[in-house]
Amino acid sequence: MPPAAPEILEETRTTVALDVPWSVVVHNDPINLMSYVTMVFQRVFQFPREKAEKHMREVHELGRSTVWSGAKEKAEHYVQQLHSHLLLATMEQVE
């Protein structure tokens, strides 16, 4: 006699959705001093001075610079930090 087919009591399906990363973007502002913006990047992101200056120049010359990408909560934290230093910063979902 063939073995009885197992009875399916419940079928479950698991899907894994990766969080879409977010970017932290700093926008140009003619009032903020370049040296001040550099200092803020060093302080908030612990960038070495050269990297902080590179992003500062990008903001100044191109109008914006993406300074960080990653999880939404951390992006919010960084934008909050940048706003506390009065930089024009936004978070954007990476396309």
Q: Which residues bind another protein (CB under 8 A)?
A: 29-33, 35-36, 39, 76, 79-80, 83-86, 88-93
Closest separation between CB of residue 73 and another protein, Å?
A: 11
CA distance 29 to 94: 23
13 versus 84: smaller Cβ distance to another protein: 84
Query: CA-CA distances (angstroms) from residue 74 to 13, 28, 48, 53?
Result: 30, 22, 20, 22
Closest separation between CB of residue 47 and another protein, Å?
A: 13
